[in-house]
Structure 1
């Protein structure tokens, strides 16, 4: 279902015709920028019982019109799909354009995922509480909350059991953003790697655990990962069109100015920077295991100039250098999830954002006071980068889970439930 409305900007009095595509979310906050740059917000609230839709406009006033006239500024708006701003074409809605690009089966998968996001948002407080309670070691309350959330009576008394319950809750909540098969393959890889290292390098492996557990690094990385999940819920509206690009392969590599109908660059740039930094820290775990596999000690890196002398020194290396010191790594970081030039530009305020076109211009090179070599992308591309980075962080968070499972079972000797054994 779609609604056509026309609005008059409160600031410049320019008229914009809007086609509003319906999602199945109860409250649908949409935004676009008038050609003068002022934000105009349109919120649709569904009344499922009476099959009504309440439409509220902020930053502009709604005006009466019989039909969309040629030459008037036009915007398509939809929460679930990328939208393009151009000429109004009757029937060429964002939903219909998306269906023609990806086909029926992909549309059904996308629909299933965004439907689940509605449930995630309705359980937002429960999810936040579960993550906070686990991070703060409030095991008694955590057990009550997570069991209620999961609707389960699984064992949840030991550290091992609570670790398992936590990740059950995470997988249930965040599967629309994640890639379940790749996550499963990653967990199998982590488990297989730990088993082989125990057989061939048990003493070195346990020395590695002694350091990362005693100094709190493993717990800190896990806690950092857990802090990202609620922030993903905060921007789930922004990520819906980015999720659609899993199927819209025609978009890849094209500088098509598709728009996102919710949130803006300023709402998400710090999250991208923080996810990148946590991936940077998690690489310490990857490097430690790689060193044990290759040289029998987590502190021994390949010989070379400026190579860190220990894992502790490696932790201080810049993100861009870390991968150079992990030789023939057993774990491959998704290259699309890492863009040091973009990360550095965002972190050091070397970006410009056009709110109207949603174009991001960033300056990755060190040019002193000059900015002569820009790169550009659209906000949809940036949203996609956040999604891919989150997926990589999520897989590395599963590495912290597997490391804790090994530590509880094989180092501390906790009794495992049958599923752990």
Structure 2
């Protein structure tokens, strides 16, 4: 179903034609900015006390649009179209023509999964909280409230199974099933190979990341990201489209979205990058074991400089302090292939240091990653949709490595009989 409305901006008086495509989500908040003065215009369907903010309806408006005003085509599930109005060319029709019905049907299944997550997100958040608190009584109560999650006993392996059932539910709309299945299958096999070929050093590695709290802290950091992702489903919904569409460079995605804004999502990318940087330390340790039989030994050609050993490569503990970008460069022929399209250190640093501008009408982010004293002259630009797409890709990396963390935890519990 589509609704046609004409809104008048309360700040500058600009009239904007707006076609609104309905999603199956129970509550549907929309927002966009006046193209003339940047006033934020927002409204909500499915909420009794919702009100129109930033604009007023043009009461004498009669459809169809005449094409003489700015036009925006809103839909929660798909990229926004802004431009010239064309009668009948709705967002749904535009999407199905571009993707084909087969791809659209698969996309629609994932959107329905998101619709399921929205009402249970509070319980999913609570489950993660109770696990981190090690409160099994409360953890069990929450498990009973979530379809598809059950705690069969209080043995550690069964607690982990229930926990990862929940993270699977939370992540399934956002991730690629084939990638998840592959890493889940490969990760345990890597550990079995290491135990067969470098048993003592592998056990020493496991003991070290248990005794210093690294594995537990890393696991908890990962878990904390899942409820936050679910709570931002509105921003990520239209980004799924680009799993199916033929696109050029990620930074060139021009489309916009119908709700959310950069200020509500910017820190999530930064936090994803921070957690992924810590995960890379785990990857490096395993990679060193695979290549050299010693988790502390990095490739010799990378370690040596004219002045001696390169700082950060003396040991895995020292490597943990290296910046994300350099960490990736210091892992030789990694067993885990990192999606470099998800990593943008300049963007992350600019967000972390609050050096960016956001223009809501065009949804363009301008960020300034360089150290320029008091000046801001060197800048980069990225569309908000591209930013969300990068965030989605980076979450997939975090989720993939979380499968390796899961394999590590089950190795500790079931094979090495260690207390985690």
| TM-score class, shorter | over 0.9
Partner residue, 2:62: 66
Q: CA deviation at 1:365?
A: 3.4
Partner residue, 2:110: 113
Q: Check the 8 A contact 1:156/1:165 in 2, yes or no.
A: no
Partner residue, 2:14: 14
Q: Pairwise CA RMSD of aligned residues?
A: 1.9
Structure 1 counterpart of 2:128, from 131, 156, 162: 131
Q: Check the 8 A contact 1:143/1:156 in 2, yes or no.
A: no
Q: CA deviation at 1:144?
A: 3.2
Partner residue, 2:28: 28
Equivalences for residues 156-305 of structure 1 within 5 A: 156-250=153-247, 252-253=249-250, 255-303=252-300, 304-305=304-305
Cα distance in 1 for partners of 2:263, 2:3 equals 29
Q: CA deviation at 1:179?
A: 1.1
Gaps of 5+ in 2: none
Partner residue, 1:50: none
Secondary structure in 1 aligned to 2:252? coil
Q: Check the 8 A contact 1:299/1:309 in 2, yes or no.
A: yes
Q: CA deviation at 1:354?
A: 1.0
Secondary structure in 1 aligned to 2:52? strand
Cα distance in 2 for partners of 1:107, 1:322 equals 38
Is the alpha carbon distance of 1:204 and 1:79 closer, same or farther for their aligned partners in structure 2, counting shifts above 3 Å? Answer: same
Cα distance in 2 for partners of 1:4, 1:46 equals 19
Q: CA deviation at 1:130?
A: 0.8
Cα distance in 1 for partners of 2:62, 2:277 equals 56
Q: CA deviation at 1:252?
A: 4.7
Q: Check the 8 A contact 1:290/1:326 in 2, yes or no.
A: yes
Cα distance in 2 for partners of 1:151, 1:39 equals 40
Q: Check the 8 A contact 1:221/1:282 in 2, yes or no.
A: yes
Q: CA deviation at 1:202?
A: 0.8
Secondary structure in 1 aligned to 2:83? coil
Q: CA deviation at 1:69?
A: 3.0
Secondary structure in 2 aligned to 1:412? coil
Structure 2 counterpart of 1:377, from 358, 372, 382: 382
Q: CA deviation at 1:92?
A: 1.2
Which stretch has the larger CA shift, 97-106 or 55-64? 55-64
Cα distance in 1 for partners of 2:185, 2:256 equals 38
Is the alpha carbon distance of 1:112 and 1:348 closer, same or farther for their aligned partners in structure 2, counting shifts above 3 Å? Answer: same
Partner residue, 1:417: none
Q: Check the 8 A contact 2:16/2:70 in 1, yes or no.
A: yes
Q: Does 1:339 align with 2:334?
A: no
Which stretch has the larger CA shift, 325-334 or 371-380? 371-380
Q: Check the 8 A contact 1:257/1:357 in 2, yes or no.
A: no
Secondary structure in 2 aligned to 1:263? coil
Q: CA deviation at 1:256?
A: 4.9
Cα distance in 2 for partners of 1:89, 1:256 equals 22
Q: CA deviation at 1:238?
A: 0.7
Cα distance in 2 for partners of 1:139, 1:55 equals 39
Q: CA deviation at 1:173?
A: 2.7
TM-superposition CA deviations, 1:115-142 (whole Å, max 9, x none)? 1111101101110111111111112321
Q: CA deviation at 1:350?
A: 2.5
Q: CA deviation at 1:154?
A: 5.7
Cα distance in 2 for partners of 1:131, 1:341 equals 31
Q: TM-score if structure 1 supplies the norm length? A: 0.92
Q: Check the 8 A contact 2:132/2:220 in 1, yes or no.
A: yes
Is the alpha carbon distance of 1:153 and 1:223 closer, same or farther for their aligned partners in structure 2, counting shifts above 3 Å? Answer: closer
TM-superposition CA deviations, 1:139-195 (whole Å, max 9, x none)? 232133224424566633211111111111211232000111101111122111101
TM-superposition CA deviations, 1:203-233 (whole Å, max 9, x none)? 1111111111111110111111111111111
Cα distance in 2 for partners of 1:255, 1:57 equals 32
Q: CA deviation at 1:30?
A: 0.3
Partner residue, 1:51: none
Equivalences for residues 382-393 of structure 1 within 5 A: 382-393=387-398
Is the alpha carbon distance of 1:327 and 1:351 closer, same or farther for their aligned partners in structure 2, counting shifts above 3 Å? Answer: same
Secondary structure in 2 aligned to 1:85? strand
Cα distance in 2 for partners of 1:55, 1:244 equals 28
Partner residue, 1:146: 143
Q: CA deviation at 1:55?
A: 8.0
Cα distance in 1 for partners of 2:148, 2:108 equals 25
Partner residue, 1:104: 101
Partner residue, 2:52: 57
Cα distance in 2 for partners of 1:286, 1:153 equals 30
